[in-house]
Structure 1
Amino acid sequence: MTTLPIHDALDPLITALRDTNRAVLQAPPGAGKTTVVPLAMLDAGLTNGRILMLEPRRLAARAAAERMAQTLGEKAGETVGYRVRGESKVGKSTRIEVVTEGILTRMIQSDAELSGIGAVIFDEFHERSLNADLGLALCLEIADALRDDLILLAMSATLDAEPVAALMGEVPVITSEGRAFPVETRWIDRPLGKKDRLEDATARLIEKAVSETEGGVLVFLPGEGEIRRTQSALRLPEDCSVHPLFGAMPFKDQQAAIRPAQSGRKVVLATSIAETSLTIQDIRVVIDAGRARRARFDPGSGMSRLVTERVTRAEATQRQGRAGRVAEGTCYRLWTKGEEGGLLPFPPAEIEAADLTGLALELALWGATPDDLAFLTPPNTGSYAEAQTVLQMLGALDADNRITPHGKSLAALPLHPRLAHVMAVAGPQAAPVTALLAARDPLTRGAPVDLGLRLEALDDLKTFTDRRPFGVNRNALATIRDEAKRLRRSTRDVKADDLSPEELAALAYPDRIGLRRKGDTPRFVLSGGKGAVLDDGDPLANARLIVVTDTDGNPREARIRQAIQISEAQLRNLFSDQIAWQDTCTWSKRERRVIARRQEMLGAIALDDRVWKDAPDDAVASAMLDGVRDLGITLSSAAKRFVARVELIRTAGHDLPDMTPDALLASIDDWLLPHLSGVKTADHWKKFDLLDALRARLDWPQMQLLDRLAPAHFTTPLDRKIPIDYSGETPEITLRLQELFGQTTHPKIGNTPLRVTLLSPGQKPVQTTMDIPGFWSSSYADVRKDMRGRYPKHPWPEDPTQADPTLRAKRRKPS
C-alpha cells in the first residue's frame, strides 16, 4: 500500500479520539486525510456505529467514497457509500457514509440522537460553509446533552486550528506535515484592463503555459460559464485533451477529468471544487485566473446568490500547492506580483455574508437561538432578526419566533424558505417558476425584465428564439429544467388550486409587490416598504402592480432586473387576510400640510386611497407634531419674553420647566399637543402664537413665583404696562423719554435695576441708562438741546424731575 503523509499522524489521532472522543486534524492538501482517516477509524474499531463524513461538494463526496471503496476492493454502496442530493449509494453493510453538509442537518432534525451514527467527520472545515458551522454546533449539543459517546473530528487544510479546538472543548490538535515539491510562481506583466475579458486572458495564459511546461494542467476559473467560454477560446496542440470540471456536470464527465490522461497532456478547467478534497492525477502546472465564486446574501433577490470575487491569499496558496503534488511544478497567476499585496488573507465564513433565513428556520425547528449553540462565528444579530422577519412573513414562524406547522413543512424541503413556501403551497405546478427564481437569469443582458419571457424560453426554446431577439444561456436553461423536474418529484403529493406564475412569484416575494407611483418615471413602492425603479422603455413600465423578483440591491432605490405583472384581483385572492383598511394622518413635507387618508393597505402599498374627511382632531394634531418638528418652533415676541423669564428663574435654582429651544422641541408631545386643534398647515403654524401653550406648562404656584421674581411688566408713571425683556444679561424696558418725567428713582425689579432705553417721539433710541437720576442731571441737557430742534411740538422742560409725565405733544397756542 502507498504510504501517504497522513499515515504518520494516524496513531496520535486514533489515540486522541479514543481518549477524548474529539479532535482537530490539520493536514495539507494531498496528505490523504479524506480517504485514509475514515478507514483508519473503522479499522481501529473506535465505534460500533456508522462513520459519517461531511464534504462541502457532491463531486468530492462521491469521489471520496469511490476511492475508499476501491481501496477495500469493493464498489461504492458496500462498506463505503455516499449520499448527495438526488443520488444515494448506501447499503445495509455500509459502515462509512460520505454525505454533503446539508444532509447532516436533515438527519439531525429527524433524529436528534443520530441513532446508529458513531462518529461525525467534518472534512475541509476551513471552507466554513454555513451548513458545516451549523452541523458542528448541533453535533456538539447532541454530544453534550444526549450522546457522550459520539465521536467528532474536524479536519482541515488551512484552518487556524486553535479556535476550533477551543470551541470543541479544548480538544487535541493533531498535525500532519504533508509532503510537497517546490512550485515556481509566475505572474503576468501588467494588470488586466477593463476591456480584457477574463476568459480570453486565461486562454492565452493556458496556451503560454502549455508551450513552456510539461505535465497535466489544472486551471482555476470561477464557474461553468467562464469554463465554457475559455474552452471555446483555446487553441492547443492536438495532443492536449481539455476537460471541464464543475459541480453540475454529469458524474461520468467529472470522473473523466479526474482520471489520468490515456495519452498526451490533459488540461482540466475547474472551479474551486478542485482546490481541496479531490486529487487530480498527473497535475504539474496550475493556472489561477484569480477569481472565486462564493455565496453572499443578495439584497436584490432576497436570497443567497453566488458572486464572483478576487481570490484570497489562502485560496491562491491552496491552488498553487496543487502543482507540487507529484513533482516540481509551476503556478501561473493571472495578476501581477504587485497586485498580490491587495489580496485579502482569508475568505470570510459564509455565516458572515450569506442569507440567514435558512439558518433561522433550522434553529427554530431545533428549538434554539444562536446564543444556545456553540458557533465558531456567531451570526450577526441584525441579519438574523431580518431573517426571522422574512420567516414570519411566510408563516413559518409565529409572532414569538416559534416554528409553525407550515414552517416544519418548509424545513423539510431542500430549498430557500421563500421557494420552499411556494412549493409547499402550490406543489408541482410551481416547479418551473421556483427553479427560475433559484437560478441566475438565463436571458442575456438587455432583455426586458418580465419573468414571463424566461418561462416562455423554458417551455419552448425554439419558438422563443424564433419570436424573440434576446440571447439565451442554453446551459443555464438546461440546468433550470433539471431542477424543475426534481422539484416536481419532491412535491408530487401536494394538492393545490391552479395558480398563475405571477401568483407564485407573489407567494415567494410578498414583500416585493410593487405599486406604481404617480408620475412619468416608472417608480414603484414595494409592500415591504422599499422603493424600486424600472427603465422607462421596459414593457412593464406602465404596469400598476408588479411582483419584483430581482433587483440590483441598491438600498435607496433598487433598479428592477426581473419582475412580473399581477392584477389586484389576484393579490386579493392570495392575501385577503393581510389586506386591511388603515386610517392615517401624516405630515407631508412636500405639501407642507397634514394629509388625512383612508387606505386599504397590503403591507406598505395602498390598493385603495381616499380622503379621510372626518378625521378626529387628536389624530390631526398628532400628525401636526411631525410638521412642527419639520418646520421648527418660532416664538412670538411675547412668547420669547415669557420663555426668557422662565429660564432666568429656572437657572437661579427654582423648579420650573426647561424652556430652552432643544428642550421645547424634544417635549412637544407633552405640552403642545393639546393646543394644536385646527392647525393643519405650515401657514396655520406660522400664525400660531405659542404663548398660551407655554404658560399652561406652569401651575398656579409656579406662575405666582414667576410673577413675583420676574414680573412681566413695568408700570410707568402714566400707569401704562411696559413689557420687560429678560433675554439679555440685564432685564430691560423700552419707553418714550417723556413718560419718565418726574421719575426721581431708577426703575427696579426687587433689588435689580432695569436697563432703560429711552426713545424719542419718533421711537428712535436716544439713551440707554442704568441710572435715571444721573441721566436727568447730566446727559439730559444735551439730549434736550438736540431733540427740541427735531421735535419742537413735544415738551422738553429744563428740569424733567419737576415735569409731569406725558405722551402728548404741546397744546397749540390760540391764534
Structure 2
Amino acid sequence: MSLPVVSIKSQLLEEIGRRNVILSAPPGAGKSTAIPLWLLANPSFKDKKILMLQPRRVAVRTIAGYLASQLGEQVGQTVGYRVRGENKTGQNTRLEILTEGLLTRKLQQDPELADTAVVIFDEFHERNLHSDFALALCLESQSALREDLRLLLMSATLDELGLERLLPDAAWLQCEGRSFPIDYSYHVPPSQQQWLPFMATVIRQALTQDGGVLAFLPGAGEIRKLAGLLSEQLDSKVQLHCLYGELGKQAQMAAVEPLPVGMKKLVLATNIAETSLTIEDISQVIDCGLEKVARFELNQGVTHLTSQRISQASATQRAGRAGRVGPGRCYRLWGQDQLCRMASQSQPQILLADIAPLMLEAAAWGTELTALPLLDYPTQAQLSQARELLVQLDALDSDGRITRHGKALCQLGCHPRLANMMLHAKQLGSAALALACMLAALLESKDPLKASHTLCISERIDWLLRHRQDPIMQLAVNWMRRLQREFVDKVDSRDAARLLIHAFPDRIAKSRGAGRYLLARGIGIKLDEQDPLCDHDYLLVADLIQTGAGGDIRAGLTARLDWPVLEAEAGHWLTSSVSCDWHDDVGQIRARKLLKLGSIVVRNEVMANPDKAQLEQIWASLIREKGLTWLPLADNAKQLLNRIHLAAKTLGQPELSAWTDAALLDSLADWLIPYLAEVRTLKQLQALDFAALLRNRLDWNMQSWLDKALPTHFVVPSGSRCALEYSEDGQVTLSVRMQEMYGQADTPTIAEGRIIPIIELLSPARRPLQKTRDLAGFWAGTYKDVQKEMKGRYPKHFWPDNPASAQATTRTKKAM
C-alpha cells in the first residue's frame, strides 16, 4: 500500500524547484520517510546535500536507519545523521538528519550553506527554540546569499502558526493522509493525587486487548514510578520499555524496534514519542494529557520543569500514534468536554527559555535578535536579562556588539556561562581545562550521585575520575578535544569553585545560618542542614532546583568557596558603598561602610567619623528615602513653600512651577547638602535656617516680586503688621483683633487683586469671633449681633455702631 503523501509527489517536486514549500499532512502520511528520498533522487539537487531537522535525537536515529535501509545501505553512507556528541556521516553522505542546534552551528560557519540544496524542517509545529532560530538564519541566507536555497516546512498542524508572514511566497500543500479509524474513550481519574495509579489500571485493561500500548506521561520521574507500579503485575508476554530524553541510545532504540512474534509491547514515554517516530507493534495509546515544559524564571535565573495540560495539537499527535498502521484505540485520562478548553497550540519555546545563548548567536550572525525574521519575539524582560549576563561575561560590549571573546564563546556551542568557564580555564593549563570540561559535562547531565549525603560537586568530579567510561566523562573528553587539548588525570577537584565563578558569578552564596544562603543575584536558597557544605560561609551554587508551587529554591550541585578565592576571582565585581540609618531614639545618624557582591554584604563596618563627602552622601540618601516632609522645617520655611506653590498655581510663574517635593529632592545638592557637612544630629539639623536656604534658590528679582505679590504680613488700619497665613491647600488667612480693623470698609486683596484673604476677626482676648471674605457685608449685617454680645463681655473695649468708618485702635476706651 502506497503512502498517502505519494499523491502530492509531483506537485511537491515541481514547487520545491521554484520556491519554498509548506506541507501540512497528518501523522502516518509518510512525510519524514518518503519525501527526503524523493529530494535525494531529484536530478536538480544531485550535487547538493539535503538537510532534515528533527527536534528529537531518537527520531533522528530511527529515521536515518529507516531511510538508509530503503537504499539498501548502512547509516553513514548516502544517509547519515548527527546529534550532539554523535556523528554518523561520511564523505558520500548527501541526506543528513540532524537536530536543530547543529544547523545553527553549520550556518554560523557557512552562512551560504554552499553544499546544501534543501533544508527540511520536520515537525515544525513543536516550535523548538533552535528550529525558530535556524529558520530565521536560513531565510536571511536565502535572501542575501542563496536565492536557490529551498526550505521545506512540514508538520501535521501548521495553519495557525502565522508562517505566511515569514514565507509569503511559499507554496502551501496539504495531504489528507491514510485514514485509520481511532476509537476514543475518556476516563477521568478520581483525584489529581491518584491519577498515576488510575493510569496503571487503565493500562492493565488495555493490555487485555489486541495490540501494543503506548502510554504518554509528563516526565521521566512519572515513568519510573508507573513502571514500578506495573512491573510485578505484567504478563510474561508483555515487554515493558521506557522512552525519554535522558535514556541511553540502546534503551531508546529498543523501545521503537519490533518485537518477536507472540510478544506484546508496552512503552511508557514522554512527548518524545509524539512525532516523527513510528513505534512498532503499537495500536493503543493512553494519554494522561500532561507534559513537562522547561520555563526560565527571570527573577530566579533558573530553568525548571513545570507540569501543564497539553495543547489540542499535541493531543491529536499523540492519538495519531494509535492509527499509524491500522485501526487503533486512544484512552484519554480527562473529560471529553475538556478538549475544547485546551490551548490550540503549544506555547513557543522562545517565550519560555533563557535566551542568552540565542542573543549571542544573533550577535555572532551580525545582528540583533529582534531584527531576525522570527515568528515570535522574546519579551523585553528576557532581552534585558540576557544582555546583562552577556555584558557581564564580556561576550557583548556596552552597545550590544559581540566581542572577540564573545565569538570564541559562541563557537563552543554550549551555554555562554559554561563556555566562559572553559575558555578561562584553558588559559590556566590542561589540568584546569580538564576540570572545567568535567564541570560543564556534569552541569549538562543528570547528577550521577543523586543518593549522596552532600551536593558537593567535587565529590562528583572524584567519582568521574574513577569511572572514565561514564557518558558524562566522555562528554568532558569531547569538550577537551574541541578545545584542542588531550585529557589529563591530574585534576584537583578542590579548585571547582575557582572555575565555576566564571560561569555563575551571580550564584556566589553567603550563609544566613541553618542551611539558608543568599545568592549574589538576591534570592535565597536552602541546603540540607546535615550537608557538610553548610559548614562554609561561602559557596558557589552551580545548579538551582525549584520545588513546589511555593517557589522554594533548593541548591543543586555546589562547590565550597573560600574568601581568598572569591576575592581573587570575583574581586572586580565587589562594590563599596555607605549605608546609613537614622536612629529616632537618639536623634542621630549612624553610618556603615558596606562591601557588597551583588546583594551579598561581605563586609559591614561601623563608620565612627564619616568624612565630609561621606556625610553629605549619607544625608542625601537619608532625605531621599524619608522624603521632604521628614525635614524639621520651621513655620517660616513651610510658609515660604506654600507661598511659592500658590504663586505658581495662581499667578503662572514658570520658574516657580518646578518647586515640587520631587524637584526639591532632586536638587538637594544645590540648596541643602552643602550645609550638612558638619551635621550629625537632629538638634543640629533643627538649627538650620531652612527658610533662608530655600529662599536662596530664588534670584533677587523673584524674591522681590514674591514679597510684593504674596507678602508675609499686612498692615491693618491700626498700624499693626499682622501675619498672613498661607495653607497647603492655597487658602490665605489674616487673623487680627476686630478693633484693629475698624475703618477698613472693604476686604483687602493680595496678588494684584486676584486673591481675597479670609479675614479672621478676633476678640480682645484673641479668640475667633468671625471669618469672612466680605468685610463690608459683615460690618453692615452680622456685626450687630457680635457688638451686642461683646459689649457685655468686654465693656472696657470700643464697640462702635458704625465700625466701617470708626477709628481703629489697639487700646481700651479709657486709654483712647
Q: What TM-score results when the alignment is normalised by the length of structure 2? A: 0.86
Aligned equivalents of 1:266, 1:58: Cα separation in 2: 22
Counterpart residue type for residue 758 of structure 1: L
Gaps of 5+ in 1: 464-473
The aligned counterpart of 1:577 is 572
Does the CA-based 8 Å contact 1:298-1:553 persist in structure 2?
A: no
Q: Rate the CA distance shift 1:732–1:688 in 2: closer, same or farther, 3 A.
A: same
Q: Rate the CA distance shift 1:590–1:419 in 2: closer, same or farther, 3 A.
A: farther
Counterpart residue type for residue 351 of structure 1: I
Q: How far off is 1:684 after superposition?
A: 7.2
Asked if residue 665 in structure 1 is aligned to residue 657 in structure 2, the reply is no
Identify which of 479, 485, 508 aligns with 1:493.
Answer: 485
Counterpart residue type for residue 428 of structure 1: A
Offset from partner CA, 1:97-124 (integer Å, 9 cap, x none): 1111111111111222223222211111
Aligned equivalents of 1:702, 1:266: Cα separation in 2: 93
Aligned equivalents of 1:78, 1:343: Cα separation in 2: 44
Q: How far off is 1:241 after superposition?
A: 1.6
Counterpart residue type for residue 402 of structure 1: R
The aligned counterpart of 1:470 is none
The aligned counterpart of 2:251 is 253
Aligned equivalents of 2:640, 2:628: Cα separation in 1: 24
The aligned counterpart of 2:429 is none
Counterpart residue type for residue 228 of structure 1: R
The aligned counterpart of 1:527 is 520
Asked if residue 805 in structure 1 is aligned to residue 809 in structure 2, the reply is yes
Q: How far off is 1:546 after superposition?
A: 2.7
Asked if residue 761 in structure 1 is aligned to residue 758 in structure 2, the reply is no
The aligned counterpart of 1:467 is none
Asked if residue 210 in structure 1 is aligned to residue 207 in structure 2, the reply is yes
Q: Rate the CA distance shift 1:225–1:479 in 2: closer, same or farther, 3 A.
A: farther
Asked if residue 566 in structure 1 is aligned to residue 565 in structure 2, the reply is no
Q: How far off is 1:481 after superposition?
A: 5.5
Does the CA-based 8 Å contact 1:182-1:324 persist in structure 2?
A: yes
Does the CA-based 8 Å contact 2:218-2:292 persist in structure 1?
A: yes
Identify which of 498, 503, 518 aligns with 1:503.
Answer: 498
Aligned equivalents of 1:269, 1:340: Cα separation in 2: 22
Q: How far off is 1:656 after superposition?
A: 5.0
Identify which of 599, 608, 612 aligns with 2:603.
Answer: 608
Q: How far off is 1:510 after superposition?
A: 0.3
Aligned equivalents of 2:808, 2:272: Cα separation in 1: 107
Q: What is the SS of the residue equivalent to 2:502? A: helix
Q: How far off is 1:24 after superposition?
A: 1.2
Q: Rate the CA distance shift 1:165–1:17 in 2: closer, same or farther, 3 A.
A: farther
Counterpart residue type for residue 552 of structure 1: Q
Q: What is the SS of the residue equivalent to 2:4? A: coil
Give the 5 Å matches for 1:429-468. 429-439=435-445, 451-452=455-456, 455-456=458-459, 459-460=462-463
Does the CA-based 8 Å contact 1:531-1:556 persist in structure 2?
A: no
Does the CA-based 8 Å contact 1:636-1:690 persist in structure 2?
A: yes
Counterpart residue type for residue 444 of structure 2: A
Does the CA-based 8 Å contact 1:594-1:627 persist in structure 2?
A: no
Q: Rate the CA distance shift 1:672–1:118 in 2: closer, same or farther, 3 A.
A: closer
Could you tell which deviates more after superposition, 137-146 or 248-257? 248-257
Aligned equivalents of 1:755, 1:367: Cα separation in 2: 71
Q: What is the SS of the residue equivalent to 1:52? A: strand
Q: How far off is 1:608 after superposition?
A: 3.1
The aligned counterpart of 1:544 is 537
Does the CA-based 8 Å contact 2:648-2:656 persist in structure 1?
A: yes
Aligned equivalents of 2:550, 2:248: Cα separation in 1: 42
Q: Rate the CA distance shift 1:809–1:264 in 2: closer, same or farther, 3 A.
A: farther
Aligned equivalents of 1:741, 1:797: Cα separation in 2: 9
Offset from partner CA, 1:287-339 (integer Å, 9 cap, x none): 11222233322458735454433221111111111111222211112223344
Counterpart residue type for residue 602 of structure 2: L
Counterpart residue type for residue 661 of structure 2: L
The aligned counterpart of 1:232 is 228
Does the CA-based 8 Å contact 1:739-1:807 persist in structure 2?
A: no
Does the CA-based 8 Å contact 1:23-1:165 persist in structure 2?
A: no
Q: Rate the CA distance shift 1:632–1:15 in 2: closer, same or farther, 3 A.
A: farther
The aligned counterpart of 1:393 is 392
Q: Rate the CA distance shift 1:85–1:440 in 2: closer, same or farther, 3 A.
A: closer
Q: Percent identity?
A: 36
Q: What is the SS of the residue equivalent to 1:281? A: coil
Q: What is the SS of the residue equivalent to 2:63? A: helix
Does the CA-based 8 Å contact 2:435-2:491 persist in structure 1?
A: no
Offset from partner CA, 1:583-635 (integer Å, 9 cap, x none): 44667799997665444443444433432710426534532441353756887
The aligned counterpart of 1:84 is 83
Q: How far off is 1:364 after superposition?
A: 1.5
The aligned counterpart of 1:13 is 12
Q: How many residues align?
A: 786
Aligned equivalents of 1:43, 1:682: Cα separation in 2: 90
Could you tell which deviates more after superposition, 636-645 or 243-252? 636-645
Could you tell which deviates more after superposition, 623-632 or 217-226? 623-632
Asked if residue 271 in structure 1 is aligned to residue 256 in structure 2, the reply is no
Aligned equivalents of 1:284, 1:174: Cα separation in 2: 28
Aligned equivalents of 1:682, 1:440: Cα separation in 2: 60
The aligned counterpart of 2:434 is 428
Does the CA-based 8 Å contact 2:189-2:198 persist in structure 1?
A: no
Q: What is the SS of the residue equivalent to 2:374? A: coil
Q: What is the SS of the residue equivalent to 1:286? A: strand
The aligned counterpart of 1:368 is 367
Does the CA-based 8 Å contact 1:301-1:551 persist in structure 2?
A: no
Could you tell which deviates more after superposition, 596-605 or 26-35? 596-605
Does the CA-based 8 Å contact 1:113-1:147 persist in structure 2?
A: yes
Counterpart residue type for residue 733 of structure 2: E
Does the CA-based 8 Å contact 1:533-1:557 persist in structure 2?
A: no
Does the CA-based 8 Å contact 2:592-2:604 persist in structure 1?
A: yes
